[in-house]
Amino acid sequence: MINLVLFGKPGAGKGTQATFLKTKYNLVHISTGDLFRYNIQNETDLGTLAKSFMDKGDLVPDQVTIDMLEAEVNRNPQAQGFIFDGFPRTKSQAAALDAFLEGKKMNITATIALEADDDILVARLLERGKSSGRSDDQDESKILNRFEEYNQKTAPLKAYYQGQNKFHPINGIGTIDEITTRLTQLIDRL
């Protein structure tokens, strides 16, 4: 079983690469953004709870996010593994994920960080913003703010996973195929 945590700043290509990796390795891609949308749209108990915090402008507590993630893992008992995208975002979330997986006799195989220079990522996002309709992909100051938030939140996670010898930076610059090749070479060595 392969369980991967995929990191990277906005525009690093996490979603694009997750699509290839889930197909190649028969993994289930769990995106926290997708989980929130699914639970809220389907008015699940967790979705209703999350929405109650969001409607007040509050952050959704870690435990609600963790409960959504656990439910998604449990919905896929035949999975060959998982790609966790957008989770964990904090050290406490990482510890909770480890504890949950340990209880299911699983663990994180590797955390992979797609790395690229900010100027390249800004250009990618501004280009994506032309067709995505996302306002946060069309304003450079919003993009840079998202990068700063990523830097602040993921620094402790890098150290956390380095301490477990599970952190692997990958050069996220190049063609989609070049980056996919780098990722698969790493995963095949695990």
Q: What is the mean pLDDT, run by run of 10 residues, along the chain of 190 residues?
A: 93 92 96 89 94 85 91 94 91 93 95 94 91 84 88 86 96 95 96
Check residue 119 and give its pLDDT: 95
The DSSP bridge pattern shows strands 81-85 and 110-115 to be unpaired
Check residue 49 and give its pLDDT: 94
Summarize pLDDT for 143-161 with one digit per residue, the tens: 898 898 888 877 789 999 9
Check residue 109 and give its pLDDT: 97
Instruction: Name, in order, each residue with C-beta under 8 angstroms of 115's C-beta and a sequence gap of 6 or more.
Output: 8, 12, 169, 170, 171, 172
Instruction: Name, in order, each residue with C-beta under 8 angstroms of 110's C-beta and a sequence gap of 6 or more.
Output: 4, 5, 166, 167, 168, 186, 187, 190
Tokens of 183: 């990722």
Check residue 79 and give its pLDDT: 93
Tokens of 92: 């406490």
Q: Where are the domains of the chain?
A: 2-189
Cα separation, 73 vs 78, in Å, equals 10
CATH class held by domain 2-189: alpha beta
